[in-house]
Amino acid sequence: MSDLGQPQVRVRPRDAASLVLLRHEGGVARVLMGRRSKRHAFAPDVFVFPGGRLDPGDARMAAATPLRPDVALKLSPRRAEALALAAVRETFEETGLILGQPITSPVVAPNAAWAEFLATGHAPTLHQIDYLGRAITPPDSPIRFHARFFITDADHATGALGGSGELIDLDWVTVEEALRLPVLDVTEYVLAQVAARVAGEAAGPTLFSYRNGRAVSRPTQPSGARRKP
């Protein structure tokens, strides 16, 4: 309840997507992370994976290759590819790295953000991406996101590391090094999921959320396994 005795209006989470780029060097696994600047209203000055909000253009962008069927089934059928495309687009914008293949026929850009991606001479590809899980910001947060986390091998990415400057201090770090950085609890959780995957112990996708002010996680069923109402 608010001070005036009225119930607080909870902010509806906005759809978002992030991409974990995993690189193996000399038998050591590293992930790409960057620090959000202090000017950000949400999660300033912490290290995160490349990612951001779902844009209306993501649902209208045509991927050169689709998500694998087994991956798409782990997400909402209506938004699976749009969310994966958002992760690819945000990764390009924030790091300069491209998940795509050379354009062989005309591709229409739904907006300026995708026009910039296509200007590299590549169309986005999704077949090399897998899905880790999702997380929802606490219900009492003034800025909320429903984020989906994807993962792919960095060998699938091309381009020079740089980006728009939205993420600074971009670097490839081990999971152990990442956990010593200033990170959110959800990032810690995703890093644990990555470590389990590298060790061959990964389970299915999970949901990380908050209940009664405490962080909780649970496995999620593939969309194809859900019961019909």
**CATH number of the domain encompassing residue 144:** 3.90.79.10
Q: How many domains does the chain have?
A: 1
Q: How many CB atoms lie within 10 A of CB 57?
A: 18
Looking at residue 69, its pLDDT comes to 95
Looking at residue 43, its pLDDT comes to 65
Give domain status of residue 140, yes or no: yes
Looking at residue 203, its pLDDT comes to 74
Cα–Cα distance measured from residue 62 to residue 65, given in angstroms and rounded to the nearest whole number: 9
Give domain status of residue 4, yes or no: no
Average pLDDT of span 52-56: 95
Looking at residue 9, its pLDDT comes to 66
pLDDT digits (tens, 9 = 90+) for 98-131: 999 999 999 999 999 999 999 999 999 999 999 9
Give domain status of residue 166, yes or no: yes
The answer to whether residue 224 scores a pLDDT higher than 80 is no
Task: Give residue 49's identity as a one-letter amino acid code.
Answer: F
Give domain status of residue 227, yes or no: no
pLDDT digits (tens, 9 = 90+) for 151-210: 999 999 999 999 788 899 999 999 999 999 999 999 999 999 999 999 998 778 889 999
Looking at residue 28, its pLDDT comes to 94
**What letter would DSSP give residue 113?**
H
Task: Judge contact between 17 and 84, C-beta under 8 A.
Answer: yes
Non-local CB neighbours of 127 within 8 Å, separated by 6+ positions: 65, 66, 67, 68
The answer to whether residue 41 scores a pLDDT higher than 80 is no
Q: Give the structural domain span for 126.
A: 14-221
- pTM of the predicted structure, to 2 decimals: 0.90
